[in-house]
Chain A
Amino acid sequence: MKVLVPVKRVVDYNVKVRVKSDGTGVDIANVKMSMNPFDEIAIEEAVRLKEKGAITEVIAVSCGVTQCQETLRTAMAIGADRAILVETADELQPLAVAKLLKALVDKEQPGLVILGKQAIDDDCNQTGQMLAALADLPQATFASKVEIADENGQKRAKVTREVDGGLETLSITLPAIITTDLRLNEPRYVTLPNIMKAKKKQLDVLKPSDLGVDIKAHLKVLKVSEPPKRSAGIKVPDVATLVSKLKNDAKVI
């Protein structure tokens, strides 16, 4: 059984982005780019499933600019067997990415697609669920635990999900879509020998048109602005002053 793992190249999570002065977006020139942290968790989970013998091949996929090849090399250094880049310089919104992934699901016929639950740039939290809908597959989002098991001859995934109020466990038929939450695993550090090995692994490059997918935008960004600034208040010397400020000035207790 194959697993497909889509990965996104995003501004590194440690970078505090700045809004461009002309309001057209955020400034990402000369900013460190990395793999979306949730996608790293997705790759790690797929590789662990392979190490356990539950699956046979891990295919990393990225949709976007040429430099996404670096992200795919990282995915292969973690342990993905091969990679596919759907290359385009056009802006890709979640629905377009889901359509590209649907075309790849049709082509590769994976038993499982594991995605990050959300990208830390656009904070959309859509692609996995959209792919599940387009491919007409069951989904288990925000996973904190994944087990593959045979039930009466049918392969299923038992997935524990992080939901409001606690945890919930679902059993879904395969093929299926899973999205990762933070506590699913802790991705391994990439070692130099594995980085070297990853350079030799297969990386295919396709265009959206090769997959016959329309990637038009459904949302138009009119402007991007700074959030209202919150300025630092005052330091209080002791607990008594704090309580008096909260009672008399802020009037919140």
Chain B
Amino acid sequence: MAALVIAEHDHHSIKGATLNTVTAALKCDPQVHVLVAGANAAEAAKAAAQIGGVAKVLHADGEQFAHGLAENIAAQVLTLAKDYSHILFPATAAGKNVAPRVAAKLDVGQVSDISKVDSPDTFERPIYAGNAIATVQSLDPIKVITVRTTGFDPAAATGGTGAVETVAAVADSGKSSFVSAEIAKNDRPELTAAKIIVSGGRALGSADKFTEVLTPLADKLGAALGASRAAVDAGYAPNDWQVGQTGKIVAPQLYIAAGISGAIQHLAGMKDSKVIVAINKDPEAPIFSVADYGLEADLFTAVPELVKALG
């Protein structure tokens, strides 16, 4: 048997989360295959074959995979599932969307958001917004898993010598169709892969201020921008910047929280960061209880000062 990783990709290249998922897969089984289901995705399949430790890439191609519709991707995975002991998805919006469909059709439980592989059938996963860690054993013959990317180092993106094999693509389900997407284009690093994150809370007060105050700091540090739920709900920042229990889980080298009080749901998304800096004028803000360096100050003066001090 082997482990199958469902690649996250943009049809041309492989997304970072796939690399962490391959690392988790290698801890389950030394033989790792990757499925690239996409539209004109030969380039992505080639890139997947370069990943260190990947023995084989299965490439299914067709217009029905252009937008990653769950019905079609799940059906494709199911045609291959019987040959595998483990099927792993990154715990991203796309992976979370598809994995349970596969598990239910196989009549197996799913292990969501694993942060550690203890043995091929035993995994650790955070529950209750990361306030507890459950060690769970899968009792099923096929383990369907989503992988918390911050729990695993990325596999090397190059140097692998996997072969690409074309597999027959399933037909379109006909029940779901893509209408449109509003995907923000920016040159910043991806939030979940960034080494430094500058994150803002409700204290920023408006979308304009959020941009005006935090962008120069993020630019200076080459950082990604993040936000608390309160800031996103208030419309200061786009939804996909939300860091927290039900948003993005991040673990950068440096996380700078400006004007974020630190609700448990927010801490759940960032407390594995290596170094946390909190800038807040409320000395009682819970964010200070997890911060390595706390600066009790008004962010509207402290952040511009910080930009200046960084030269």
Contacts and interface: CB of A to CB of B under 8 A. Distances in A.
Contacts of B238: 166
A165 B69 CA distance: 16
B33 interface: no
Contact of B132 (A17, A131, A236): A17
Interface stretch (A59-67, A75-83, A202-210, A214-222): A214-222
Contacts of B66: none
A252 B223 CA distance: 12
Please classify how large the interface on chain A is, using the bins under 10, 10 to 19, 20 to 34, 35 or more: 35 or more
17 contacts: A95-B108, A121-B128, A123-B127, A129-B101, A130-B101, A141-B97, A142-B93, A158-B179, A164-B248, A168-B67, A171-B179, A172-B176, A218-B139, A223-B135, A233-B291, A245-B293, A253-B221
Contact of B274 (A17, A124, A252): A252
Contacts of A166: 181-184, 238-240
A218 B309 contact: no
Nearest to B70: A139
Contacts of B101: 129-130, 132-133, 139
Nearest to A132: B101
Contact of A124 (B110, B122, B290): B110
A226 B295 contact: no
Contacts of B229: 182
Given A95-B109, A232-B289, A236-B294, A253 B94 contact: no
B134 A224 contact: yes
Candidate in A26, A234, A235, A238 with the most chain B CB atoms within 10 angstroms: A235
Contacts of B13: none
Contact of A183 (B103, B112, B128, B239): B239
Contacts of A224: 127, 132-135
B180 A169 contact: yes
B245 interface: yes
Contacts of A73: none
A107 interface: no
Return the 3 tightest CB-CB contacts between A and B, nearest first.
A218-B109, A129-B100, A233-B292
Interface in B202-242: 221, 229, 232-233, 238-240, 242
Chain B interface main SS type: mixed
Contacts of B265: 13
B138 interface: yes
Contacts of A252: 196, 253-254, 274-275
Given A13-B265, A166-B184, A242 B93 contact: no
A168 B97 contact: no
Contacts of B275: 246, 250, 252
A240 interface: yes
A117 B309 CA distance: 43
B96 A236 contact: no
Contacts of B309: 239-240, 243
Contacts of B178: 168-170
Given A173-B175, A242-B293, 18 more contacts: A94-B100, A121-B127, A130-B100, A133-B74, A169-B179, A173-B174, A176-B175, A181-B239, A182-B232, A182-B242, A218-B109, A222-B135, A224-B127, A227-B126, A233-B276, A235-B288, A239-B302, A243-B309
B99 interface: yes
B109 to A, nearest CB: 3
Contacts of A133: 74, 100-102, 104-105
B305 interface: yes
A171 B176 contact: yes
Contacts of B296: 235
Contact of A167 (B103, B239, B271, B294): B239
Contacts of A182: 229, 232-233, 242, 246
Contacts of A250: 254, 274-275, 292-293
Interface in A62-120: 93-95, 98, 117-118, 120
A226 B132 contact: yes
A169 B80 CA distance: 29
A195 interface: no
A158 B182 CA distance: 15
Candidate in B173, B176, B232, B295 with the most chain A CB atoms within 10 angstroms: B176
B293 A236 contact: yes
A221 B132 contact: no
A168 B196 CA distance: 27
Contacts of B113: 123, 125
A162 interface: yes
B132 A225 contact: yes
Nearest to A102: B104
Contacts of A11: 128
B160 interface: no
Contacts of A196: none
Interface string B42-77: 000000000000000000000000010111001000
Contacts of A181: 239, 246
Nearest to B252: A252
